[in-house]
Amino acid sequence: MHLLVTGAAGMIGRKLLDRVAESGLPGGVPVTAMTLADVIEPDVAVGFGGSRTCVTADLSQPGTAERLIAERPDVIVHLAAVVSGEAEADLEKGYRVNLDGTRALFDAIRLAEDYMPRVVFASSLAVFGAPFPERIADDFHLTPLTSYGAQKAMGELLLDDYSRRGMLDGVGLRFPTICIRPGKPNKAASSFFSGILREPLNGQDAVLPVGDDVRHWFASPRAAVDFILHAAVMDTSVLGQRRSLTMPGLSATVADQIEALREVAGEDAIARIRREPDPDVARIVAGWPRDFDTARAREAGFRAETSFRQIIDVYLEDEMGGREPGAPAA
């Protein structure tokens, strides 16, 4: 099995590669070759014994997509993207990377003869726009209220159409906000959801730009990797013509996050959260959905956490290296 991952240098890409290097794909499917692509040099998965090709390139540039699929990878995981806040601030870059890059990849596959790989496309909850019902079902209409959401919605439609035509075998994953993200904050408008937990758990101060009553949809990085791996091998006949699914997750408020942090790390950690309202972030977040009925995804075998304590525990297990919550990193 040959696996191609675009956006391989990102957090989810790196965790995916480490998991594949350790155990292959679900069901004992071995991965014998990896092609890793990103605009910065991707990390090579530690412990992977197969062949590895690292490509530093921009997928939206002419010829890049054709180069990436030249060896005809069996499974393509398309994670490369400009995140929400940056896509809103830089319209041209967002459309170039999120739409043009996606179409370039899909068209390179389309134009290759006798080739129909499994394509796992990273979509987003941002494809949905207010006004929302109390819980959003999979058949709710796509009316994004951000450029990022529009770009991801277009990617979903391309995935449906190219799958319908038998040009690729697509699965679109509408990821929850991934929390707790390790490392430093990124330019996503949702970055603070991780920051208000990650920084206090590491003995650092954090900024909260929205109110405690803000509700959102979450899953851990570990769950995100599980989603991708399941999508890589699942029976896509259950999807019919609607190839994109909203992934399972946890609907929780900022107050719920803070309470789970208090349970794990105590009042000293809570005291490190500094409230600094940011109207721009609040405006973007206000247009996002808050709760979902993900029966379709669950019936297809996707799973995620059911409490914020579980999400924090995943971070403690995967990122803290045995340190006590609230203790600074060495």
Active-site residue list: 148
Rounded to whole angstroms, how far apart are CA atoms 118 and 77? 8
Q: What is the C-alpha radius of gyration for the chain, rounded to an integer number of angstroms?
A: 19
Rounded to whole angstroms, how far apart are CA atoms 133 and 230? 29
> With contact defined as beta carbons under 8 Å apart, do 167 and 109 qualify?
yes
Query: Judging by beta carbons within 10 Å of its beta carbon (0-12, 13-18, 19+), is residue 278 exposed, middle or buried?
Result: middle
Sequence-ordered strand ranges (E) for the chain: 2-6, 33-38, 51-56, 75-78, 118-124, 169-175, 177-178, 206-208, 215-219, 244-246, 250-253, 273-275
Which tokens sit at 68? 């990436």
Element housing 32 (H / E) = none
Q: Is 124 helix (H, G, I), strand (E, B) or coil?
A: strand
